Amino acid sequence: MSWLECRELKHGCIGTEHLLLGIVKEGERIMDLGKDRGLTVGLAFQVLQNLGVEPSTIQTQVMQILRLNQPELDIKNKTKK
């Protein structure tokens, strides 16, 4: 999942932001689809849940940080301005 996040954002290497986005995306996916299949979320996602962190908040804040650090990128459209 982290690699997919990195690729979608057109970044050259996987960083901590991609790892965090991947953890959240995988956890949400398992929460949505995996319960019926007997799957459980990973430990990292469980820790975030236990801390009361909302996945959508993580995604929003990571994307805001990326926009601040790379203003020439339109992250939403994933193209250079």
Residue 74 has pLDDT above 80, yes or no: no
* pLDDT score of 65: 87
In this structure, how many other beta carbons lie within 10 angstroms of the beta carbon of residue 75? 16
* pLDDT score of 33: 85
What does the pLDDT look like over 39-51, one tens digit per residue? 888 999 999 999 9
* pLDDT score of 58: 92
And the tokens for 34? 């995996």
5 near 21, Cβ under 8 Å? yes
Helix-, strand-, coil-residue percentages of the chain, each rounded to 5: 65, 5, 30
- Domain ranges in the chain? 2-80
In 3-78, the DSSP E strands lie at: 73-74
Lowest mean pLDDT among 16-20, 57-61, 77-81: 77-81
